[in-house]
Amino acid sequence: MKSFLTTLLLLSILGIQAQSPQPPATSAEDRLAGFEQRRQLMDASLVAKVPFQSVGPTIFSGRIVDLAVNPQDPTIFYVAYASGGLWKTVNNGNSFTPIFDHEMVMTIGDIEVDWTNEVIWVGTGENNSSRSSYSGVGMYKSTDDGQTWQYLGLPESHHIGRIILHPTNPNTVWVGVLGHLYSPNKERGVYKTTDGGKSWTQSLFVNENSGVIDLVIDPQDPNTLYAATWEKTRRAWDFVESGNGTGIHKTVDGGTNWTRMTTEKSGFPTGKGAGRIGLDITQSGKKTVLFAVIDNYDRRPEEEEQEGEELSKDDFREISKEDFLAIEEKDLESFLRSNRFPRAYSATKVRAMVEDGSIQPNALTEYLEDANSLLFDTPVIGAEVYRSDNGGKKWKKTHEEFLDDLFYSYGYYFGQIRVSHRDVNKLYVLGVPMVRSDDGGAKWKSLNSENAHGDHHALWVSPKRDGHLILGNDGGLNISYDDGETWFKCNSPAVGQFYTVNVDMAKPYHIYGGLQDNGVWEGPKTYEHSRRWHSNGKYPYQSILGGDGMQVEIDTRDNETVYTGFQFGNYFRIHKTKGSRKRITPRHELGERPLRWNWQSPIHLSRHNQDILYMGANKLFRSFDQGDHFEAISEDLTNGGRKGDVAFGTLATIHESPLKFGLIYTGSDDGFIHVSEDGGHSWDRVSDDLPKDMWISRVQASAHKEGRVFVSLNGYRWDDFSAYVYRSEDYGRNWTRIGTNLPAEPVNVIKEDPVNPELLYVGTDHGTYISLNMGATFMAIGSKVPATPVHDLVIHTRDKELILGTHGRSFYVADISPLQQMTAEFLASSLHLFELEAIQNSGFWGRQFSTWREPFDPEIDLTCYAKAGGEAMLSLADSEGNVLKEWSETLSKGLNYFTYDLSIPEDAAQSLYKPKEGEKEKLDAADNEKYYLPVGNYIIRLKQGEASTETNLKIKK
């Protein structure tokens, strides 16, 4: 096995660009001001009341980061999601209630509950350092079970590693602050409060890149705590996951002074290879025992190659031409096939290419190596478990063999260890999978099962009942009562972390999305959460691909042909009904540098001819035959990549103008926007006047004017949370910044309405905003939608609905037909009632089908626009103008929504009743004692002051 340092030299395949200065991180003051701005944009919004319907799915849930379980009654517990908020169950996970939906952020790093005093503590900002680990703003506390929250500061913490409550003093709390993810900062370390969070003191600080990832408290002495610090440096192109700042520190005076326990003589790994550490502590008799799991980034000793071993890519790195040609053809053929070289490259052909000098032998190594391969192939030691019986002075590794296939080379995503408090020799380590040891860590077994996801982050081990476990992972919540041998799933909340969303044109249409670590799913927009599928076996949503689900395009000519994929450009053409699947990802040629594929590689299906598919690596590819064959239609459209172990210098967004075939825009993760007006024959870079080095999160060509284009830039990977949105009227040659009143929230997507050219939609890390004046100003929409990241959105052109793809709360759908009518002329009107669809009369209205069921009470939704708020009167009249019913409503400025149950007073009903021969002379009331409108035409009028408006209501047979 070659050394990692040798492998790093090959990163020149990514190109090495001069690095510009790092943009400054957004200050906490600006972020807090942004939250107030968000509130103001909602309070003043004309569309705050637009109702959004959660349409699931729920079955796969989302990433759980922490659990807090009632020690007296473990059927009551709280579940914290990475970006889906905080939820409570009182029935052992059978159902949940969200209680942290509308604060500044929904991302959570850790929670603790003071069960005696009924106080909930929330540390915001996920402590996993993944691609979508959102930044928090510090600490929150609730004393009324989440009905209200008090913000407690630490705004520059960004990511909270752990919270520790004093066992007897409710006002004393310690917090481990991990700090910024993408930038250095001094506000890291351990913070302590002795006044319930009113003030904080920083008591442990290592350096600007080392924060505290874990904390434990001695069960016998609350003044003794242990803190695990973790040094890391993450950038968009590279992640250094270890460093000298990593270590375990101890205090014996409640956090006033700290001593580093992990030294070179302690037996615990130190130095540049020391990665993330997880801690747990227990009592064994009178002795306190510490356990730690570390992601050891030191390199493994090189293994000597054994005679007869299969060829590996390292064998070709420095091999001579003569030695290469001496390799047996069958061995070379085996290597080519096992490494998925295209079939065109047979052993015979490759030998001939080397022999005639068309390629060098090391081209076989270079063909396979890019930043993605380095993410998974690094020969690090990986997970190790250590034990200390003397307060952290000396540590001993519990096992002799490597703990392979647990942390891999992305231990930044894991790092939790738990010990049973009934048996000091029973340990659990969370990774991929979760493993358990029953002998103090010498031997381990996997606890994965068919009903539990693979990536694990949170575990509660019952202190009272052996084998009772509650587990949180990327797939939600699992509970076991037999120590992990079997699990049941508790996934009723809709907390899916979708990266993308798209729709087809079926009736009813289906929604498609790719999401974090749970594949690609599709299901009907009519979905309503129900447990009925437990009995009929038919869950409305279906999985169509695994992995981390990415972008989806649907051929609407049949609504069956789907293009989608998983991370790093692995895409397929799928036929839903036939079940066929064909890999379509274009490959580079032998002798060329590998293509660079974004984590979420973009695809785009041409609206001019749906046989034409575009796909973006660092170049743009186009297929004229549904992905069977691709050709590159550009050179490198990025800044060329950077040295690092994360794929970078890639295309992130593609869009072809719906008005002109061949008018194509691309945006890259390193800040480049290109346009081609001739189908890819020539390209112009049009981003030079925009902020540098930003991720181009979306480029959107207008459907109303050929030269108009919108873009959003995202500074998340610099900890820059500014909202960057721009419009061009001349194909990107000149840009105008729009949305200048948007709060400091990274923008993930901008879309133009297909009907109203002035109407724009923007999705940010905290919600959705719309503009009614082409971006001059924005307002927030949907006050009831949780403040979760909106990664993507799409407008269904036929059904006039907006679908949000959230990264934390699955899909939301809203009727936007009223918004599409809100032109400048419309907004000048004082009052407007929107049209109603005809309603079919039913004998079920008011009927009670069983003693044990409520009567069926129909209702229709009425929507109106009011230029000013205030009281208004509604009246219902028949076709001749006779008033049948009147009632009042309180209106707000903007769109208003209220319901009418189709009932009328008895005298009005009798006046409309025209009995036929043989029928009763008088109309009977329904089972619920109400009288309902018969078949006919009616008028609903709305009056506010001097202004009035009306609309027709038709009840049909």
Tell me the pLDDT tens digit for each residue of 570-615. 999 999 999 999 999 999 999 888 999 999 999 999 999 999 999 9
Whether the pTM exceeds 0.75: the reply is yes
pLDDT at 378: 64
Phi–psi pair at 207, nearest 5 degrees: -160, 180
DSSP single-letter state for residue 695: E
| Residue bearing tokens 């600007």 | 208
Predicted confidence (pLDDT) at residue 443 exceeds the cutoff of 80: yes
Mean pLDDT on 482-510: 97
Amino acid at 213: I
Residue 98's φ and ψ, nearest 5 degrees, are -80, 140
Segment 825-865, tens digit of pLDDT: 999 999 999 999 999 999 999 999 888 999 999 999 999 99
Structure-token match 């008090």, residue found: 150
- For residues 803-831, one letter each, b for 16 or more C-beta atoms within 10 angstroms of the residue's C-beta and e for the rest, the string is bbbbbbbbbbbbbbebbbbbeeeeeeeeb
Please give the Cα distance from 253 to 940 (Å, whole number). 73
Task: Tell me the pLDDT tens digit for each residue of 372-421.
Answer: 665 556 689 999 999 999 999 999 999 999 999 999 888 899 999 999 99
Which letter, b or e, does each residue of 397-433 get, where b requires 16 or more Cβ atoms within 10 Å of its Cβ?
bbbeeebeebbbbbbbbbbbbbbbbeebebbbbbbbb
Query: What's the pLDDT score for residue 153?
Result: 97
pLDDT digits (tens, 9 = 90+) for 555-573: 999 999 999 999 999 999 9
- Average pLDDT of the segment spanning 783-791: 97
Helices (H), 223-346: 321-325, 329-338
**What's the confidence (pLDDT) of residue 305?**
54
pLDDT at 10: 38
State the pLDDT confidence band at 7, using cuts at 50, 70 and 90.
Answer: very low
**For residue 15, what pLDDT is reported?**
40
Cα separation values, 92 from 456, 478, 483, 490, Å: 20, 11, 17, 9
Does the pLDDT value for residue 5 go beyond 60? Answer: no
pLDDT band at 309 (very low <50, low <70, confident <90, very high): confident
Q: Quick one: average pLDDT of 763-774?
A: 98
- Say which range, 147-161, 194-208, 442-456, has the weakest mean pLDDT: 442-456
Confidence label for 1 from pLDDT (cuts 50, 70 and 90)? very low
| Mean pLDDT, rounded, for 110-137 | 97
**Both tokens assigned to 903:** 């009932």
pLDDT at 413: 95
CA angle 916, 922, 928 (to 5 degrees): 120
Give the pLDDT score at 308: 58
759 strand-pairing partners = none
**Which pLDDT belongs to residue 94?**
96
Distance CA 667, CA 697 (A): 7
493-515 mean pLDDT: 98
H/E stretch holding 354 reads helix 347-355
CA-based R_g, the chain, Å = 31
Segment (H or E) for 365: helix 363-368
Q: Which residue has the higher pLDDT, 797 or 308?
A: 797
Asked if pLDDT for residue 4 goes beyond 50, the answer is: no
Mean pLDDT of the chain: 94
- What 3 state SS string does 392-434 have? CCCCEECCCCCECCCCCCCHHHCCEEEECCCCCCCEEEECCCE
Span 336-352, average pLDDT = 91
Lowest mean pLDDT among 4-8, 152-156, 634-638, 774-778: 4-8
Q: What percent of the chain stands above pLDDT 90? A: 89
Per-residue pLDDT tens for 50-69? 999 999 999 999 999 999 99
Q: Retrieve residue 248's tokens.
A: 């375990």
Range of lowest pLDDT (243-257, 371-385, 791-805)? 371-385
State yes or no: pLDDT of 640 exceeds 60: yes
Phi-psi region of 476 (alpha: psi -120 to 50; beta: other; left: phi over 0): left
